[in-house]
Structure 1
């Protein structure tokens, strides 16, 4: 089965490769078991194993054994590391960075990326998104959410727009044009409150 190049950055072989690289390279101090990567990315252990083998072979990731468990991490000592991180940050980076930032913000129950970035991530062709739209479900402090969006904008080198709704509004059917539009288009769920020691 032929896998098409991802719409976010067609330089990568697949969306899995982009997701895996972003997760590992944008968290350079973190070590990942292949099982933890598979769970985090929502794919099979075999798929992660194949991709990790390629990336370790290309010396983009490093690998070590802890007992019988393979553990991978970012190779930060190569000439590729910084430019690859820059590319990943502006393409696949919104998921891991926004997940990490929103996990630390009180009052957030769920969060999604919507709009053009989510559409590209889901494979819809089109231009590289100029901004990132985030829907936050919960009751975070509005000023803290604004500050978080500003910080994310600086880190991701593009505007991040955060819109919040209460859990009750999100759970109920609504004729509000904004919510109808968001629900009809692609949504990418952010992984919040992830375990930091995987």
Structure 2
């Protein structure tokens, strides 16, 4: 789905899709991806990705190359804008990407999500104050010390404290109570941890 209005997380950008396309590329300076893979990863139509890439390359903040009929894109780390822009984008749109990287090495996680004010803002829910922390829900039986260490290591990069809540793998489906309602009745954003193949079903808002 195209989201054309200025994003609540960073209203200086033209649209949420612009922020997500640029963040995916700038979150990892070594990442090179095809246009179709980029569209798939950020959930944006290929035509919109093409427009955003054209604008970004014209501005000198990404670079591209062709191999046959496939166009590959990546962040231009030589750009004078790279350091400042990547830092800004990661803080605004990067929590799912940064958290996924941090949680890859933590055993026992069945699924993980960002919930609360950051997730709501990503989905366009307005708020009176800036997002001051990142709320993370982890499902499964992770080693708590390992989990806290992994999440503590990304707080500087995200520019905010990371608060984590741990629940059983089936909690989203079978849980109850006020906290369960708080999580499931508002938008949540899945943290796509590469080593995890399964996901507990969760109501998604968009």
TM-score by length of 2: 0.88
Structure 1 residues 17 and 2, CA gap change in structure 2 (3 angstroms): closer
Give the structure 2 partner of residue 45 of structure 1.
Answer: 46
Matches of 2:93 and 2:193, distance apart in 1? 16
Deviations, residues 3-39 of structure 1 (Å, cap 9, x unaligned): 2100000111111111111110111011010111111
Does residue 1:157 correspond to 2:148, yes or no? no
TM-score by length of 1: 0.92
Give the structure 1 partner of residue 186 of structure 2.
Answer: 185
Matches within 5 A, 1:3-152: 3-126=4-127, 127-152=129-154
8 Å contact kept, 2:3–2:17: no
CA deviation after TM superposition for structure 1 residue 154, in Å: 2.1
CA-based RMSD of the aligned residues comes to: 1.8
What SS does the aligned partner of 2:83 have? Answer: helix
Structure 1 residues 83 and 149, CA gap change in structure 2 (3 angstroms): same
Matches of 2:113 and 2:189, distance apart in 1? 5
Matches of 2:60 and 2:171, distance apart in 1? 48
Deviations, residues 33-92 of structure 1 (Å, cap 9, x unaligned): 011111111222222111111111111100001121100001111111111012112111
Unaligned runs of 5+ in 1: none
Unaligned runs of 5+ in 2: 197-206
Matches of 2:140 and 2:162, distance apart in 1? 18
Matched pairs, number: 194
Matches of 1:12 and 1:128, distance apart in 2? 16
8 Å contact kept, 2:103–2:151: no
